[in-house]
Chains A and B, each alone.
Chain A
Amino acid sequence: MVMTARLTPPRTTRRLALALAALVPLVAAVPTSPSAFAQDDIVVTMVTDTAGLGDQNFNDLAKRGLDRAVEELGVQGEVIESTEQADYVPNLTQAAEQSDLVVAVGFLLADAVTAVSEQYPDDRFLLIDAAPTEERDNVEAALFREHEGAFLGGIVAGLMSKTGKVAVLGGEDIPPVERYEVGFRAGVEAVAPETEVTVNYTGTFGDPALGIEQSLALYDQDNDIILPVAGATGIGSFEAAKQREGTFVIAGDTDQSQLGAEQQLCVVNKGVDIALYAAAQQVVDGSFEGGVLDLGLANDGMGLTTPGDQVPADVLAVVDQYREAIVAGEFEVPASRDELETFEAPVLGSPTASPAATPAA
């Protein structure tokens, strides 16, 4: 089934309006800004994965990039939400029918994008988190180095855990989630080799109630910091942290202060919005070429922020050291479980922060 959250009037009405609007300058020869009409024609449609809008996470982040493109570039933005995996092909097809740039939000849409992009060679596609399974000139793949951002999150967790136990709560075990998991584990290992990292998967991105139960179980096992990488399921980690004293969440992808500012230790930012905006801009100025957008710490595609100022300065100093080392290419953060096995965490020059570092709150 298809649910369309319209940001603009219904398609037919809009087509009619556009057609009429396009006639106005011809018939009446009213001088108008040509770019206004040219860009009105550009429609950007994003197709969500099954977590949908409101996941406070990945899809909402993409939507933010879309909103910015609508505001600043004057494109038309539309959203089609997918409720099950079988929706991907029909939703992408509908999106391709109606727009110039189709944004497929998520790794799980890769196969569908590969199929639909062949049917619509004149449309442009931005696929987030995956490359198409076959070479396509009209598909741009936004690939993030989640492991680099998560590595910094792991440093914060490793230095700030009081119990010496931290956890990752994954949704489905897919490559971008694995990169988060592995990067986080590597980061913890780099600064606190004794700290134990538990990795749990819920098998779903859309079940906040299950997320609470799983998080409570983790907190009750003395884990005091959880990194959820589980879409709407991860909302449950915040709810669980509210029920357990002295427990914290490291948010993935985007700032989730609205779910619990006191519980949120720091944020591993993922520039999904940046990627979407960049692709929209390329379509607007005609420079869209396909290929790969490689987004990591070096080009601010990934990052670590502390909206609640809960991380003390000495910990942030260590984070910055590692950030610089990664950007400078001094070492590679492992991106898969295989790479993690052989990874040897570099010990950087200056003394590490005191292990007694405590949250500011």
Chain B
Amino acid sequence: MATPLIFAAMGGLLSERSGVMNIALEGLMLIGAFSAAAGAHYTGSPYLGLLIGAVAAGLTAIIHAVWCITLRGDQIVAGTALNLLGIGVPAFLLQRLFGTAGRSPAVDRLPSLTSGLNVLVPAAFLLAPLVFYFLFRTKPGLRVLAAGEHPRAAESVGVAVDRYRYACVIASGVLGGIGGAFLSIGDVSFFTTNMTNGRGFIALAAMVFGNWTPFGTLGAAIFFGAAQAVQIQAQATGVPVSKELIIALPYLLTLVALTGLVRNSTPPAGLGRHAAAD
């Protein structure tokens, strides 16, 4: 349950750490989910499908980057637009490419290592240490952090803030796309309209809950995934509690976690601010 959340949340983390708000994760996941299914359909290979999904979502993220970084548009508006795009474009392309509405043809799934665990699951867990190492132990990573904390200071010492931001936003697209692909060609074997069902926003919450740190975000994503799993098991085993309450459990836990446990939530200081003087 947590895997797609982890990918998308790490993507969001990279983007926001570089100083660009990214509420478009939901849309990027949908683009990735659709493109992966379409790619797997046309190439016959789920691996190529995964690649195509990641690339397509990365390309879509460039729209966000151009709007937010180069054109200095409103980052929330751009993100909302991409989320709408994520619903509309796949619906349109389903009609054009496959002549179907709402659902793509069935494709081959990513192979499972063991029952229900495909190759993306361990990859998701490796992602957090990788992102941590990149951001806090490498030169480009530290520059990303500088761009996110104080863009003008970073600029003044010669960091090409906009270039780092572009890279991070595109990376968030790629990771969000992989998270979406996990749903369409990992969990199921086709794309359905709006199949992410809010997971992009939960990933966003995981990032905030994780206080914009890789391991915190990983933990939060696992927590949200586990809450959903508890909900499912509670119903399946017939725990005698009203189903409305059980269904609401993941969301209740999220609320409790966000209000009760997040004490010192500190977003990157330069989030949403531009490098050059306005």
Contact = CB atoms under 8 A, between A and B. Distances in A.
Among B183, B193, B195, chain A packs the most CB atoms within 10 A around the CB of: B193
Contacts, number: 104
A236 B184 CA distance: 12
Interface in B172-211: 183, 187-189, 192-195, 197
Contacts of B222: none
A239 B184 CA distance: 12
A177 to B, nearest CB: 12
Contacts of A217: 232-233, 235-236
Interface in A31-65: 52-56, 59-60, 63
A83 interface: yes
A173 B48 CA distance: 40
A3 B192 CA distance: 15
A85 interface: no
A313 B63 CA distance: 60
Interface string B123-138: 0000000000000000
B195 A202 contact: no
A198 B103 contact: no
Interface string A1-20: 10101000000000000000
B101 A52 contact: yes
Q: What's the interface size class on B, roughly?
A: 20 to 34
Contacts of A52: 101-102, 193-194
B188 A200 contact: no
A210 interface: yes
Contact of B87 (A1, A200, A201, A203): A1
Interface string B240-278: 000110010000000000000000000000000000000
A235 B193 CA distance: 13
Interface stretch (B14-22, B88-96, B142-150): B88-96
Interface residues of A, number: 41
A212 B247 CA distance: 16
Nearest to A196: B238
Contacts of B193: 52-54, 81, 83, 206
B147 to A, nearest CB: 34
Nearest to A172: B247
Contact of A212 (B88, B101, B188, B238): B188
A1 B228 CA distance: 29
Given A3-B87, A53-B101, A206-B194, A201 B183 contact: no
Interface in A201-240: 201-204, 206-210, 212-214, 216-218, 220-221, 232, 235-236, 239
Interface of B: 1, 84, 87-88, 91-92, 94-95, 100-103, 115-116, 183, 187-189, 192-195, 197, 228-229, 232-233, 235-238, 243-244, 247
12 contacts: A1-B88, A3-B87, A52-B194, A54-B103, A59-B102, A81-B91, A81-B101, A207-B195, A213-B229, A214-B236, A239-B189, A243-B115
